[in-house]
């Protein structure tokens, strides 16, 4: 059984921070009957075991925690550096996006990699981070026809949102580049690189460095830069 | 070793799944029809969560190298051992060299095969369940292939031969009624749309899989727009995209999504959805949360009792 706690109806850092604070409080208090939680932009999905907690009782305890969520202190965020090669053969829409935005590809890359992004949540496919906060001057509506297959590691832009595809999947975002890092590695002890609440910085890298890091990632000798 | 000469179109190793990873985008997986899966394990003397097979529409052909016991449950399908018919929902003892063939489902979709001891594949994130899209768990995260050979974990000895009492074997109805709780976005649909949803049959489409059951039927019309800000998707959530056709999200579902959700199928009825064939129809009936809790308790009791006693074969 599951219930959805909605804390707003917009994509904002404030609302999402309350979602993550609510999840943090549930974990800290070890709320009886809660088996799993799924944060997203503005809501928290709470899976519960009805044999351990009734619906009304759970709603009441969650309501108390929702009140505390506005003032709760979350642990300090991790800052994760994502190396990204912005090249037209990896970022399949880089040139088209720059043209549409009436800027050079260098200007687009600088704008995209100059910002720091919040991981609002991880979802859809394993390890895929949902980020927002894309500078207004490089925002584009999603592709009119989504691609059937987007390669993993592709860095995509859709409106104010930006994501990094974690597995090969369909996708409607403008692809600007690709990271050699694996966002999802089913064989790793911790299979996903990013978590809700992380801060992400993009580091533009040349093609040679992309290939070098990709080789180290494949050999499992690369350690991502996490502060 | 169990050697597979024919794997069937989609046969995967499953156990009771890997809960706790949806916040990383990793679904629980596990069997679509939990009750049939658990019954199979109990019939061969296994713990409920031992790894077995889920086969889709058509079962595998395999031979065993050493004595063991199997039980085949779920969808109704012919089972033979060395070409002689063998029962479903019963313990079947196998000798070294026995060849088993599980044919095409006559009713239902998912066939379960439990082996005494359970299949020995590596546990990933605490589970042996296969998640195909994420290439996780089971045999290299994939469906079985011809030539695969799987080992069994040690078992507690030959289990007693039992079969399920007839009353415990679920009827696979031609047009099952699936119970749902309306929401979380039922208010985003027109009255006519909600009426259509709760009064008309919906047909299972062939592109359905363990991620979602795609259905077709009278349009479930939206009031204004079909998109929401992406949020979490519960097991059984019924998404309705712009075309007004429902998709029931299942054990391998995406963890989050941005389409409106008209209702959620109770976890107690997910197994019944998983047994509806393409071209077959189902109906939805709305229940209140309290009623859903009661039905869930009833399901848990039935699960606790299934194959508990059994009768000697």
ipTM of the complex model:
0.92
pLDDT value, residue B233: 96
Examine the domain organization and report whether A121 and A53 are in the same domain.
Answer: no
Chain B residues whose CB is inside 8 A of the A50 CB are 293, 296-297
**Whether residue A50 sits in one domain with residue A124:** no
- As a whole number of angstroms, the distance between CA A190 and CA A74 comes to 21
Position B230 scores a pLDDT of 87
The torsion angles phi and psi of B165, rounded to 5 degrees, stand at: -60, 145
Tally of domains within chain A: 2
Residue A87 sits in the same domain as residue A66: no
Calculate the average pLDDT of chain B: 95
pTM: 0.93
With a cut of 70, say whether residue B311 has pLDDT above it: no
Same-domain status, A90 and A120? yes
Q: Which residues of chain A neighbour B24 with C-beta distances below 8 Å?
A: 122, 126-127, 191-192, 195
Minimum-distance CB partner of A125 among B20, B25, B293: B25
Dihedral of CA A201/A202/A204/A205: which sign? Answer: positive
User: A162 near A118, Cβ under 8 Å?
Assistant: no
Question: Is residue A109 a part of any domain in this protein?
Answer: yes
State whether A38 and B232 contact (CB < 8 Å). yes
Average pLDDT, chain A: 94
Q: Are residues A103 and A157 in the same domain?
A: yes
Q: Is the pLDDT of residue B309 over 70?
A: no
Kindly write down the DSSP assignment for every residue of chain A, as one continuous string.
-EEEEE--SS--HHHHHHHHHHHHHHHHHT-TTEEEEEE-SSEEEEEE-TTTS-HHHHHHHHHHHHHHHTTPPPPPPPEEEEEEB--TTTSTTHHHHHHHTTS-HHHHHHHHHTSEEEEEEE-SSTTPEEEE---GGG--PPPSS-EEEE-TTEEEEETTEEEE--SSEEE-SEEEEE-SS-SB-TTSSS-BS--TT-EEEEEE--HHHHHHHHHHHHTT----EE-
B 126-155 near A (Cβ less than 8 A): 133-137, 141
DSSP state of B169: S
- Cα dihedral: A17, B239, B29, B25 (round 10): -30
Say if residue A130 is in the same domain as residue A160.
yes
Q: What is the pLDDT of residues A54-105, one digit of tens each?
A: 999 999 999 999 999 999 999 999 999 999 999 999 999 999 999 999 999 9
Query: H-helix or E-strand containing B304?
Result: helix B289-305
Residues A69 and A99 grouped into a single domain? no
Which pLDDT does position B157 carry in this prediction?
85
Q: Which helix (H) or strand (E) holds B216?
A: strand B212-216
Q: Do A142 and A114 share a structural domain?
A: yes
- Structural domain that includes position A61: 2-73
Q: Pick from A30, A46, A73: which residue ends a domain?
A: A73
pLDDT for A151 equals: 94
The answer on A128 and A35 residing in a single domain is no
Interchain contact B95–A (C-beta under 8 A): no
Chain B residues in contact with A130 by the CB 8 A cut-off are 230, 256
Last residue of a domain, one of A52, A73, A94: A73
Predicted confidence (pLDDT) per residue in B183-242, tens digit: 999 999 999 999 999 999 999 999 999 999 999 999 999 998 878 888 999 999 999 998
Confidence band, pLDDT 50/70/90 cuts, at residue B24:
very high
Separation CA A4–CA B15 (nearest Å):
27
Contact of B254 with A124, CB cutoff 8 Å: yes
pLDDT value at residue A137? 95
Residue B313 has pLDDT above 90, yes or no: no
Residue with tokens 């899976």: A47
Contact A1 B232 (CB under 8 A): no
Q: Do the Cβ atoms of B161 and B313 come closer than 8 Å?
A: yes
Q: Are residues A122 and B24, on separate chains, in Cβ contact within 8 Å?
A: yes
Confidence of residue A159 (pLDDT cuts 50, 70, 90): confident
Write down which residue in A42, A73, A104 finishes a domain. A73
Select from B25, B135, B300 the Cβ nearest to the Cβ of A124: B25
Say what the pLDDT of residue A170 is: 80
For B101-125, what is each residue's pLDDT tens digit? Answer: 999 999 999 999 999 999 999 999 9
pLDDT confidence of A190, banded at 50, 70, 90?
confident
Confirm whether A32 is domain-assigned.
yes
At B312 the pLDDT is 53
Does residue A61 sit in the same domain as residue A86? no
**In the prediction, which pLDDT does A145 show?**
78
What's the CATH number where A110 sits?
2.40.100.10
CATH architecture of the domain with residue range B177-304: Beta Barrel (2.40)
Over 90: is that where the pLDDT of A148 sits? no
Whether residues A105 and A209 share a domain: the answer is yes
Nearest Cα to A194, choosing from A218, A166, A154?
A: A166
Residue ranges per domain, chain B? 2-164, 177-304
């Amino acid at each position: 059984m599951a219930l959805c706690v909605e804390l707003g109806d917009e994509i904002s850092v404030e609302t999402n921070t309350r979602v993550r604070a609510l999840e943090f409080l549930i974990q800290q208090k070890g709320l009886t009957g809660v088996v799993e939680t799924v944060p997203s932009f503005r809501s928290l999905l709470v899976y519960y075991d009805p044999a351990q907690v009734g619906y009304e009782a759970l709603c009441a305890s969650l309501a108390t925690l929702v009140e505390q969520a506005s003032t709760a202190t979350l642990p300090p965020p991790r800052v994760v550096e994502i190396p990204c090669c912005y090249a037209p053969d990896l970022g399949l829409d880089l040139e088209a996006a720059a043209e549409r935005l009436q800027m050079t590809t260098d200007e687009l890359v600088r704008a995209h990699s100059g910002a720091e992004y919040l991981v609002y949540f991880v979802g859809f496919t394993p390890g895929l981070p949902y980020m927002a906060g894309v500078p207004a001057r490089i925002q584009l509506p999603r592709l009119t026809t989504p691609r059937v297959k987007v390669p993993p590691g592709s860095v995509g832009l859709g409106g104010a949102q930006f994501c990094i595809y974690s597995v090969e999947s369909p996708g409607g975002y403008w692809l600007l580049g690709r990271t050699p890092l694996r966002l999802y590695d089913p064989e790793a002890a911790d299979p996903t690189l990013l978590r809700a609440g992380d801060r992400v910085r993009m580091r533009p890298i040349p093609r040679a460095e992309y290939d070098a890091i990709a080789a180290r990632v494949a050999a499992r000798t690369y350690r991502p830069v996490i502060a | 070793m169990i050697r597979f000469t024919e794997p069937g179109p989609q046969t995967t190793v499953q156990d009771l799944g890997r809960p706790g990873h949806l916040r990383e985008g990793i679904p629980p997986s596990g069997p679509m029809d939990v009750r049939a899966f658990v019954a199979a394990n109990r019939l061969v003397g296994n713990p409920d969560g031992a790894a077995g097979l889920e086969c889709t529409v058509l079962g595998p052909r395999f031979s065993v190298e050493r004595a063991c016991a199997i039980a085949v449950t779920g969808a109704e399908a012919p089972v033979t051992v060395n070409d002689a018919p063998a029962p479903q929902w019963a313990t079947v003892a196998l000798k070294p060299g026995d060849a088993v063939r599980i044919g095409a489902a006559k009713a239902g979709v998912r066939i379960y095969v439990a082996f005494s001891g359970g299949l020995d594949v590596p546990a990933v994130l605490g589970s042996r369940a296969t998640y195909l899209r994420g290439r996780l768990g089971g045999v290299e995260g994939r469906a079985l292939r011809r030539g695969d050979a799987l080992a069994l974990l040690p078992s507690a000895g030959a289990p007693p031969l039992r079969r399920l009492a007839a009353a415990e074997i679920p009827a696979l109805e031609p047009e099952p009624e699936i119970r749902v709780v309306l929401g979380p976005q039922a208010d985003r649909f027109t009255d006519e749309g909600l009426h259509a949803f709760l009064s008309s049959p919906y047909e299972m489409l062939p592109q359905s899989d363990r991620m979602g059951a795609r259905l077709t039927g009278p349009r479930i019309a939206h009031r204004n727009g079909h998109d929401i800000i992406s949020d979490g998707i519960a097991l059984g959530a019924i998404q309705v995209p712009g075309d007004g056709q429902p998709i029931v999200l299942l054990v391998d579902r995406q963890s989050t999504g941005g389409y409106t959700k008209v209702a959620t199928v109770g976890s107690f009825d997910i197994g019944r959805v998983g047994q509806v064939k393409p071209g077959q129809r189902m109906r939805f009936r709305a229940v209140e949360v309290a009623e859903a809790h009661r039905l869930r308790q009833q399901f848990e009791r039935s699960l606790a009792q299934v194959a508990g006693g059994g009768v000697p074969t």
